[in-house]
């Protein structure tokens, strides 16, 4: 299977931080996730 690059946008107001690791692990099964955290 080919690996793809994924840009992941997570709305911190909606998704609790406890789920981020699990989401990244799932995305990593299909390619390379990139996470950028923006502070307001």
CB 5 within 8 A of CB 34: yes
Per-run averaged pLDDT (10 residues), the chain, 40 residues: 76 78 87 74
pLDDT of residue 38: 66
pLDDT of residue 1: 59
pLDDT of residue 39: 64
pLDDT of residue 13: 75
pLDDT of residue 4: 84
Q: Where are the alpha helices (DSSP H) in the chain?
A: 20-28
pLDDT of residue 40: 61
Whole-angstrom CA distances from 23 to 6, 9, 27, 40 are 12, 11, 6, 23
CA 27 to chain centre: 7
């Amino acid at each position: 299977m080919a690996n793809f690059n994924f840009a992941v946008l997570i709305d911190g107001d909606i998704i609790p931080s406890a789920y981020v690791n699990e989401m990244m692990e799932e995305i990593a099964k299909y390619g390379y996730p990139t996470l950028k955290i923006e502070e307001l």
